[in-house]
Amino acid sequence: LLVLNLTLEFCLSEKQLECLLTHCIKVPMLVLDPALPTNITLKDLLSIHPALQDANNMFFVAKPKNPSTNVTVIVFDSPKDAEAAHSGMLKDSSKQIVWRGYLTTDKEVPGLVLMQDLAFLSGFPATFKETNQLRTKLPESLASKVKLLELYSEASVALLQLNNPKGFQELSKQAKKNMTIDGKELMLNPAYLLWDLSSVSQSKQDEDISASRFEDNEELRYSLRSIERHAPWVRHIFIVTNGQIPSWLNLDNPRITIVTHQEIFQNVSHLPTFSSPAIESHIHRISGLSQKFIYLNDDVMFGKDVWPDDFYSHSKGQKVYLTWPVPNCAEGCPGSWIKDGYCDKACNNSACDWDGGDCIGNSGSSRYVAGGGVVGGLGNGLPWQFGGGISGVSYCNQGCANSWLADKFCDQACNVLSCGFDAGDCGQ
């Protein structure tokens, strides 16, 4: 027997925007779009925008989705100063759009800028609530490479400012050697700057509530056809649905049964639900379901003949198929060489993301135009140096770094309008 789950995942949007990304914290930064003139100094800010009088540093970042233009990042001593400046800018009806700055470890969404002098530390005991408490417990190998530290106990992470951009690669190798605090293994993650939460929230919610989730692209039609062609031994097909029934489906076919969520959920107060795990946990309640069945989503199709023995054998039981190995990004460059702290010539190309940044000192360049001044301590009273020492990698599209453009390699992630179709690398 075959069970097809025809379901849509859905998530209600929040009335107020929140950063839903992993380890996302609000930092004392404001982002101005469009950017201020590059010749503006901190002293000039007061005359241009009085609300920014408490700023301690500024730098410029290329917009990830439009790398030809910049935004200005203004940094403050504390979240309180940043909040006051933000409110003041909104009252002044500034020509610039003013965003609050956030840092996250979630690199999978578009619109992020890598901060190479910053890193997130996690995995330490949850009992640590004060910055000094954590600082005194840091292993010497870690403390020697950290300039400043700020604990965000509510997010169970600490933000580290490193002595130099290469410190992250060195610490990552040490972390693999079981770097611990009180028996807890520490984890290091790069920090990414973001500001437009509306676009991030939308990108996160697009998977749940975008129009594409509700469009009928007839995947079910072709899934059924593939079963008929490549698995004719399937006796019966149950289609589990919340009520969506395609107009083309022949409900009189004796081999097909429509099963609604109400029929299999014991507690109907849990409905409606569009959670696949919740639905899957009730599949065994389908009346007439065989003891051994195959469960598919409606977008799964067979490309060649399959047989019951491909899924189950009486001697070994259920068969599990793991994904195949990912090929090397370039000849002579195994995946273990990427971002291992060494610049490998075979990996120093766009296909391998320039060795994951290991070759930045040789071939990379900073995307920041450094501003003057010293930044405050993110709540601990110590100066944070957000100057030219921090470099960033910008992306014009998810999975396409700006450095990949016009490199004579056709990168499919860059072959989109926002990246100028890889600046011509992919031909006509």
Whether the per-residue pLDDT at 44 is higher than 80: the answer is: yes
pLDDT band at 177 (very low <50, low <70, confident <90, very high): low
| Domain ranges, ordered by start, for the chain | 124-185
Q: Which residues are CB-neighbours of 223 under 8 A, at least 6 positions away?
A: 4, 296, 298, 299, 300, 301
How would residue 213 be classed by pLDDT, with cut points 50, 70 and 90? Answer: low
Tell me what the pLDDT averaged over the chain comes to.
Answer: 77
Confidence of residue 5 (pLDDT cuts 50, 70, 90): low
Look at residue 61 in the predicted model and tell me its pLDDT.
85
Q: What does the DSSP 8-state code read for residue 42? A: H
Kindly report the CA angle at 407 between 69 and 190, in degrees rounded to 5?
60
Instruction: Return the SS3 of 2.
Output: strand
The rounded distance, in Å, linking the Cα atoms of 324 and 319 is 15
Smallest CA-to-CA distance from 90 within 120, 130, 52 is with 52
Q: Token pair of 205, please? A: 């919610």
Q: Which residue has the tokens 């917009």?
A: 63
Q: pLDDT tens digit string along 375-390?
A: 333 334 444 544 333 3
pLDDT of residue 375: 36
Cα(226)–Cα(299) distance, rounded to whole angstroms? 11
Task: Round to whole Å and give the CA distance between 35 and 194.
Answer: 15
What integer pLDDT is reported at residue 417 of this predicted model? 85
The answer to whether residues 180 and 115 touch, using CB atoms and an 8 Å cutoff, is: no
Check whether 252 has a pLDDT greater than 80. yes
Q: Which of 103-112, 193-202, 311-320, 378-387 has maximum average pLDDT?
A: 311-320
Do the bridges between strand 157-162 and strand 113-122 make them parallel or antiparallel, or are there none, so unpaired? antiparallel
Query: Is 405 in contact with 393 (CB distance < 8 Å)?
Result: no
pLDDT for position 152: 84
Which tens digits make up the pLDDT trace of 356-372?
Answer: 777 776 543 322 333 33
Residue with tokens 């296909």: 351
The kind and range of the H/E element at 222 are helix 219-230
Cα–Cα dist 385/361, whole Å: 20
CB neighbours of residue 296 within 10 Å: 16
Neighbours of 6 (CB within 10 A): 23
Q: Residue 156 corresponds to which tokens in the numbers above?
A: 């169970």
Percent of the chain clearing pLDDT 90 (strictly above): 14
Among residues 71, 77, 72, the alpha carbon closest in space to that of 55 is found at 77
Give the mean model confidence (pLDDT) for residues 384-412: 59
Amino acid, res. 87? S
Rounded distance, CA 198 to CA 97, Å?
13
Structure tokens belonging to residue 22: 């992993």
Q: What is the pLDDT of residue 214?
A: 62
Quick one: tokens of 427? 């031909």
Give me the pLDDT at residue 388, please: 33
What percent of the chain lies above the pLDDT cut of 70? Answer: 79
Residues with Cβ within 8 Å of residue 272, at least 6 apart in sequence: 242, 261
Q: Is 73 helix (H, G, I), strand (E, B) or coil?
A: strand
pLDDT at 281: 92
pLDDT over threshold 80, residue 215: no
Cis-peptide into 272, omega within 30 deg: yes
User: What are the tens digits of pLDDT across the range 77-112?
Assistant: 888 888 898 888 887 766 778 888 999 888 777 778
Task: Please work out, in degrees rounded to the nearest 5, the angle formed at the alpha carbon of residue 353 by the alpha carbons of 352 and 355.
Answer: 70
- DSSP assignment string, 193-210: EE--HHHHHHHHHHHHHS
pLDDT at site 310: 92
Six token digits for residue 304 = 């060649």
pLDDT at residue 370 in the model: 36
What pLDDT shows up at residue 265? 93
Where do we find the tokens 């006796």? 235
CA distance 306 to 310: 6
Token couple for 151: 């604990």
The CA distance from 406 to 392, in Å, is: 19
Contacting residues for 321 by C-beta, under 8 A, at least 6 apart: none
